[in-house]
Amino acid sequence: MVKVSEAALRGGEPRASTASDPRRADGPLAGVRVLELGSLIAGPFAGRQLADFGAEVIKIESPNRPDPMREWGRAHVNGHPLWWSVQSRGKKCVTLDLKSPRGRELFLELCREADVLLENFRPGTLENLGFAPEELWKANPGLIIARVSGYGQTGPDAQKPGYASVAEARGGLRYLNGYPDQAPPRTGISLGDSLASLYALQGILLALYWRDARGGTGQVVDVSLVEACFSLLESAVPDYAAAGIVPGPSGSGLKGIAPSNIFRSSDGKWVVIAANQDSVFVRLAAAMERPELASDARYSNHAARGVNQEALESLIAEWAAGYSHEELTAVLDRHSVPNSPVSSIEDIFADPQMRARGMLVEVPDEELGTVVQPGIVPRLTRSAGGIGWSGPLTPGSHNRAIYEGLLGLSDEELQTARDEGAI
* pLDDT digits 0-9 by tens, 332-362: 999 999 999 999 999 999 999 999 999 999 9
As a whole-number percent, the residues of the chain with pLDDT over 70 amount to 94
- Please report whether residue 241 resides in a domain: no
- Please report whether residue 246 resides in a domain: no
Same domain, 119 and 193: yes
Same domain, 276 and 190: no
> So what's the pLDDT on residue 19?
34
Domain boundary among 298, 316, 341: 341
Residues ≥6 apart with Cβ < 8 Å to 107:
60, 96, 98, 131
List the helix and strand counts (H, then E) for the chain: 19, 13
> So what's the pLDDT on residue 4?
33
Active site residue 193: yes
Supply the CATH number for residue 310's domain: 3.30.1540.10
Structural domain count of the chain: 2
> So what's the pLDDT on residue 10?
26
> So what's the pLDDT on residue 218?
98
Report phi then psi at 73, rounded to 5: 100, 155
> So what's the pLDDT on residue 296?
97
28 closest CA partner among 44, 11, 5: 11
Q: How far apart are CA 316 and CA 228, in angstroms?
A: 36
9 closest CA partner among 324, 387, 351, 420: 387
Average pLDDT over every residue of 363-382: 90
140: left (phi over 0), alpha (psi -120 to 50) or beta: beta
- Please report whether residue 237 resides in a domain: no
DSSP assignment of 236-255, as one string?
Answer: HHHHHHHH-------TTSBT
Same domain, 287 and 160: no
Supply the pTM of this predicted model.
0.89
As a whole-number percent, the residues of the chain with pLDDT over 90 amount to 81
Same domain, 337 and 361: no
Q: How confident is the model at residue 71 (pLDDT cuts 50, 70, 90)?
A: confident
Same domain, 29 and 142: yes
Q: Over the stretch 203-250, which tens digit does the pLDDT of each residue have?
A: 999 999 999 999 999 999 999 999 999 999 999 999 999 999 999 999
Query: Does residue 20 surpass a pLDDT of 50?
Result: no
Total residues found in the chain within this entry? 423
Same domain, 117 and 13: yes
- Please report whether residue 268 resides in a domain: yes
Domain boundary among 311, 341, 371: 341
405 closest CA partner among 16, 11, 108, 97: 16
Same domain, 307 and 398: no
Range of the domain at 117: 6-232+357-419
Q: How far apart are CA 6 and CA 25, in angstroms?
A: 11
Mean pLDDT of the residues in the chain: 91
Same domain, 282 and 170: no
Which one from 26, 52, 115, 193 is the annotated catalytic residue? 193
Same domain, 170 and 204: yes
Q: What share of the chain is helix, strand, coil (3-state, %, to 5)?
A: 40, 15, 45
Query: Does residue 201 surpass a pLDDT of 50?
Result: yes
Q: How far apart are CA 388 and CA 8, in angstroms?
A: 8
Domain boundary among 341, 376, 391: 341
CB 311 within 8 A of CB 303: no
> So what's the pLDDT on residue 26?
66
Task: Please state whether the peptide bond connecting residue 28 to the residue before it is cis, i.e. omega within 30 degrees of 0.
Answer: no
Q: How confident is the model at residue 6 (pLDDT cuts 50, 70, 90)?
A: very low
Residue with more model confidence, 305 or 40: 305
> So what's the pLDDT on residue 80?
75
Q: How confident is the model at residue 39 (pLDDT cuts 50, 70, 90)?
A: confident
- Please report whether residue 220 resides in a domain: yes
Same domain, 389 and 334: no
Residues ≥6 apart with Cβ < 8 Å to 142:
115, 211, 217, 218
> So what's the pLDDT on residue 21?
41
Average pLDDT over every residue of 186-204: 95
> So what's the pLDDT on residue 38?
86
Per DSSP, what are the bridge partners of residue 224?
Answer: 149
Same domain, 308 and 368: no
- Please report whether residue 349 resides in a domain: no
Same domain, 287 and 327: yes
- Please report whether residue 81 resides in a domain: yes
Query: Does residue 403 surpass a pLDDT of 60?
Result: yes
CB 34 within 8 A of CB 118: yes
Q: Over the stretch 261-311, which tens digit does the pLDDT of each residue have?
A: 999 999 999 999 999 999 999 999 999 999 999 999 999 999 999 999 999
> So what's the pLDDT on residue 11?
29
Supply the CATH number for residue 68's domain: 3.40.50.10540
Torsion of CA 180, 181, 186, 192, to 10 degrees: 70
Question: Using alpha carbons only, how large is the chain's radius of gyration in Å?
Answer: 25
- Please report whether residue 219 resides in a domain: yes
Q: Over the stretch 124-148, which tens digit does the pLDDT of each residue have?
A: 999 999 999 999 999 999 999 999 9
- Taking the alpha carbons at both ends of the chain, their separation in whole angstroms is 39
Residues ≥6 apart with Cβ < 8 Å to 352:
none
> So what's the pLDDT on residue 220?
98
CB 34 within 8 A of CB 119: no
> So what's the pLDDT on residue 118?
98
